[in-house]
């Protein structure tokens, strides 16, 4: 299995995904900077913000800003993960590549697992590394500037670790569901469409509360398991033309 994973990973041009990861991080930091600007200038609009009440307090909270930064990271890396799935999994089982892929002297389910593990390992590694650096820079900058109201650093650290773990599971779930539905119609646009729907739902749940987002991400991951099972059965029963 490890040898199969290595063979699949050699097919991936990681350089382009490194640049994509950097772009996602920069966009997420820019978005976080917007929240820091809101918090920084809050004092100059005291009366107006007092009238806005809890909404203003929410926008100037570090916890809420971290949630929004995580939304951008999750959406960005779900797009990168979907692109990887299209190259490593969807393309080989479509068109002229289908016969060659099915002719490998390896069980079809085993080959699919190797492909999915290769894609998942690359995506999750890039996601976790990029997210840790992005959150560290964002929280560190806020610590120096004091723009956003924050609780104790242990509370912030534990919240970030929980978010990273749940987001990693949710990312795997998003990739699994979008891949399974995209493969059903052998269509990258379908896969992207499902991805957009799931990402928009995640954005709405994150903006509502961390608890709702946690439940939704866990549900997406659990729903992806039967979807991947159905994908494996579909590939197993494909007839060679």
Tens digit of each residue's pLDDT (9 = 90 or more) over 177-200: 999 998 888 788 899 899 999 999
Q: What is the pLDDT of residue 237?
A: 85
pLDDT confidence bin for 45, thresholds 50/70/90: very low
By residue range, what is the domain housing residue 89? 2-236
* Residue 115 belongs to a domain: yes
* Residue 6 belongs to a domain: yes
pLDDT over 90 (residue 207)? no
* Residue 241 belongs to a domain: no
Q: What is the pLDDT of residue 52?
A: 47
* Residue 76 belongs to a domain: yes
pLDDT 10s digits, 46-61: 444 444 444 555 667 8
Q: What is the pLDDT of residue 57?
A: 55
β-partners of residue 149 are 61
pTM, full prediction: 0.89
Q: What are phi and psi of 195, to 5 degrees?
A: -60, -45
Q: What is the pLDDT of residue 55?
A: 52
As a 3-state breakdown, the chain gives helix, strand, coil percent values, each rounded to 5, of: 85, 0, 10
- CB neighbour class for 233 (10 Å; exposed up to 12, middle 13-18, buried from 19): exposed
Domain count of the fold of the chain: 1
pLDDT over 80 (residue 228)? yes
């Amino acid at each position: 299995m490890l040898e199969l994973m290595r063979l699949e990973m050699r097919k991936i041009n990681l350089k382009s995904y490194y640049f994509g990861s950097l772009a996602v991080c920069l966009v997420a930091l820019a978005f976080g900077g917007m929240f820091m600007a809101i918090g920084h200038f809050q004092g100059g609009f005291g009366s107006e913000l007092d009238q806005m009440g809890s909404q203003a307090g929410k926008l100037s909270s570090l916890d809420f800003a971290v949630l929004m930064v995580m939304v951008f990271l999750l959406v960005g890396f779900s797009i990168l993960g979907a692109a990887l799935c299209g190259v490593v999994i969807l393309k080989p089982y479509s068109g002229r590549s289908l016969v060659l892929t099915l002719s490998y002297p390896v069980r079809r389910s085993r080959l699919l697992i190797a492909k999915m593990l290769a894609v998942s390992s690359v995506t999750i590694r890039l996601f976790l590394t990029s997210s840790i650096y992005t959150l560290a820079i964002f929280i560190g900058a806020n610590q120096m500037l004091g723009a956003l109201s924050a609780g104790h650093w242990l509370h912030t650290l534990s919240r970030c670790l929980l978010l990273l773990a749940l987001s990693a599971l949710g990312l795997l779930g998003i990739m699994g569901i979008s891949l399974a539905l995209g493969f059903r119609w052998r269509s990258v646009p379908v896969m992207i469409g499902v991805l957009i729907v799931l990402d928009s739902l995640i954005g709405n749940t994150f903006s509502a509360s961390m608890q709702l987002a946690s439940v939704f991400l866990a549900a997406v991951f659990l729903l992806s398991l039967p979807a991947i099972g159905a994908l494996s059965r579909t590939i197993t029963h494909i007839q060679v033309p």
